[in-house]
Chains A and B, each alone.
Chain A
Amino acid sequence: MTAFRHTWQVALRYIRALLRQPAWVGISLVQPVIWLLLFGALFKRTADIPGFSSGSYIEFLTPGVVVMLAVSSAGWVGMGFIEDINRGTMDRLLVSPIWRGALNLGSVAQSVLSIAIQSVIVVGLSLAVGAHFHNGVAGVAVLVAVAGLLGAVFASLSNGVAVLTRQRETLIGIVTMVTLPLTFLSSALMQQSLLPGWIRWVARCNPVNWAAEAGRSAAAAHADWGLIASRTSFLALLLLVSAAFATRAFNAYQRSI
């Protein structure tokens, strides 16, 4: 109960700070829309490739964009931690009896909330341009949940790296180096069976691909619930590990100051 209350307090703090930056809210709403329309237009002819099974590329692309935005938005979450550390806010929290896990989970909760809102906007726009989600609200809910789960993993990793390095530049470097390749080494933008063999092989151990597979299956005509369940549990397991890493990182921080 205390753990939940503390997590909520930390989340509330970050959510409030976000809502007070109207520019941020605007940008984060517009960005996924641009991605969807831009990628959708750029790769429109993909649907003509023999063996491409989806009706339109944009319908195929929507779950991919949702997964991409989850990774890219969660990756930057650690910047908030670096600011908190530089300002002294983190030290104030660390000398209080706050549950250590709440520091990461509260920030993760905020990140998941904004990912969910962005995802719903992308889905809405995709529907508006003629895409179909064959399993209705349930399918979309699974897609958003999977994106949130993936976002939570990356937000935790970002927080952990932030606490360990405490350097904006280092975090920017690591996030850029990790998120883009992981996105392209997955089926987010291209059907799995059309990927080169080696990418298909790498994608098997890529969490971004797990989320893309599960999210896309949930939106497809014949949802493979077994696959969705297995990919979701992989992600959940990874979340446990990454959240533990982010929380443990504070021990290293306290030894170094």
Chain B
Amino acid sequence: MKAIEASNLRKTYKGGVRALDGLSLEVETGSIFGLLGPNGAGKSTTVKILTTLSLADSGEARLAGLDVVRDAGRVRRSIGVVGQKAGLDPDATGRENLEMQAEIYGIRGGARRERVDELLERLGLAEAGGRLAKTYSGGMQRRLDVALGLVHRPKVLFLDEPTTGLDPEARTELWREIERLAREEEMTILLTTHYLEEADRLAARLVIVDRGRVVAEGSPDELKSDLRGDTVQVELVESSNGDAVGAVERLPGVSELTVDGRLLRARVDSGAAAIPSVISALEQGGLRVASATVARPSLDDVYLRHAGRSFQQADTDTKEAA
């Protein structure tokens, strides 16, 4: 049985904003699954529907075979959710936050004390457990949020943009914790992120979401190797001119050429073989090359290919629309 199945989810918010436009996905039990996309792509809406918080206009979603609308009660018992916004109560201590969460799931008495101690210890909050959560650093608050999602040992854990707003150190630490959870607790984890490197590092499989639908699906490596060849990036000494760029574009095996000031990017079949001819084409056109690099395809390239725009561009578009 799949841990999560969603088919053809659609949702339009009041005011006509279409958040989901026929999104479908399947997640295998016991894996980390990534939902990658720019802001406003529909990731959070998907999580809200899968976690019974929000209702889809149409479409179906099941968790471990249970319908998220009809069996909402049972679904809620088997999932843990770490939302994009902090769910913790800032006016309670870390321990009190966890105790209340445990009580809600019917964990009481000695079992409650044991579980709370264990989680505080495990997430590095043992010493801070007696302090009010509002005095915690951003990283500590996020860890307490994760602990709150884990109290009842859920089968499926949802992490909605778990590392947004964290400094690099806190982010790396949380990544390690997520990897440990997936490995040791055999938990299915669905993670949404708009950080390409986060999906690349954590997710065994991922879908790329754009404008409310899935535009690509696979493991990070599969997605990257679907893009044949490498990316060549050339930095020029002075700004480019049209003729020389045209000459590069006509070279065999070169595609998807983009120019940004003194920076040229292109997809080539084989980076090492293409570099000499690219450089000579540019120099014949009178352009001196400052540096040239070859890179294996990144998820950024995968995104560009499937969504038809670069990741940064999509993020900016969404912000401007909002």
Contacts and interface: CB of A to CB of B under 8 A. Distances in A.
A187 B243 CA distance: 90
A120 B105 CA distance: 37
B92 interface: yes
Interface stretch (A90-98, A138-146, A155-163, A211-219): A90-98
A92 B76 contact: no
B46 interface: no
A179 B85 CA distance: 33
Contacts of A257: 48, 53-54
B83 A88 contact: yes
Contacts of B148: 92
Q: Could you tell me the dominant secondary structure of chain A's interface residues? A: helix
Contacts, number: 70
Contact of A96 (B85, B89, B105): B105
How big is the B interface, by class? 20 to 34
Contacts of A13: 89, 92, 96, 100
B53 A254 contact: yes
Interface string A243-257: 000000000001111
Contacts of A255: 54-55
Interface residues of A, number: 24
Contact of B91 (A12, A16, A92, A256): A16
A254 B54 contact: yes
Nearest to A92: B87
Contacts of B104: 6, 9, 93, 96-98
Interface string A192-233: 000000000000000000000000000000000000000000
Interface of B: 13-14, 48, 51-55, 73, 76-77, 79, 81, 83-92, 96, 100-101, 103-106, 132, 148
Given A6-B104, A9-B103, A9-B104, 11 more contacts: A9-B100, A13-B92, A16-B96, A87-B85, A91-B53, A92-B87, A95-B51, A95-B76, A95-B81, A98-B104, A256-B14
